[in-house]
Amino acid sequence: MIYTVTLNPSIDFIVRLPQLTLGEVNRMESEDKFVGGKGINVSRILKRLGKDSIATGFLGGFTGQFVKDGLLAEGIGIDFVKVDQDTRINVKIKADQETEVNGLGPTITPEQLEALKEKLARVTAEDVVVFAGSAPHNLGNSIYQDLIAIVKAQGAEVVCDFEGQTLLDSLAFEPLLVKPNHHELGMIFGKTLTDLDDIQQEAKKLLEMGAKNVIISMAGDGALLVTAEATYFARPIKGQVKNSVGAGDSMVAGFAGSIMTTKDPVEALKWGVACGTATAFSDDLAELSFIKEIYQQVEVVKL
């Protein structure tokens, strides 16, 4: 089974208008409300791929009920800890420029945190647990060290989709996959990375520090997979980018869902690229038919 851990889920409130003018009344042209959170996005794409998962983390209030109902409507398994305060709302304003206003999220009590730890302690060596996104403000991202350790103690594999120091800290647990983009990779090592060879060399450092597979997403310039055996480059696919929210999560889902069954990191890369690209070219997370269409366009070469 694949478990996805989203410690600070959200409702993503998408607002579209031609232009945002500060200090004035702005009238939207259209809006959408989606269940959000990086781990939740992974579960939603896995479901489209026909892969079962169980989404866990913290949910509370009427906003948490919206998230719960949305996941159940898609047939996704859930096992969240109920909290006292409302799950957050993130506002994504799509105008002449994209602007985001992200909610703070609930305060997690020690008892609620312990309840989540008990759930994670039930995973087995047959499972993969995806940790993704930021933690609630009163816990801080350092809490991932405790949660990942619990999962690894049960023999499960972990996928860690973090940035910066949180990603570096996760490498001690030998994650099955980490997936920074090339800008995040450069920030980790204090470099500006534009050349493919330079990106490859820095990605190998993450491998040496503990990661089993490293994917570097490069937006419109393709993606790089570094493994202990070889490095592979997925050529970019042309199309109109409509949605940057969830593309990286979709890539994680495609890789994790494939590698559990195929044990082939190159095939997993192809599905990861297909899912991530299809979402980038969609208004919401990509549908299966479009993912399959993009999969046929994925070209991977060994470097």
Catalytic residue ranges? 249
- Rounded Cα gap, residues 174 and 211, in angstroms: 5
Distance between first and last Cα of the chain: 33
Q: Within a 13 Å sphere around the CA of 158, how many CA atoms are in the beta-carbon half? A: 27
Tell me how far CA of residue 44 lies from CA of 86, 162, 295, in angstroms. Answer: 22, 19, 18
Beta bridge partners of 280: none
- Rounded Cα gap, residues 172 and 245, in angstroms: 28
CB count, 10 Å around CB of 209? 15
Query: Six-digit token pair at 95?
Result: 């105008």
- Rounded Cα gap, residues 130 and 14, in angstroms: 25
Contact between 165 and 209 (Cβ < 8 Å): no
Query: Six-digit token pair at 143?
Result: 């809490």
- E strand spans, 134-238: 157-161, 177-178, 213-217, 223-227, 231-234
Contact between 262 and 268 (Cβ < 8 Å): yes
- Rounded Cα gap, residues 158 and 1, in angstroms: 12
- Residue 175 sits at φ, ψ, to 5 deg, of -65, 145
Q: Is 144 helix (H, G, I), strand (E, B) or coil?
A: helix
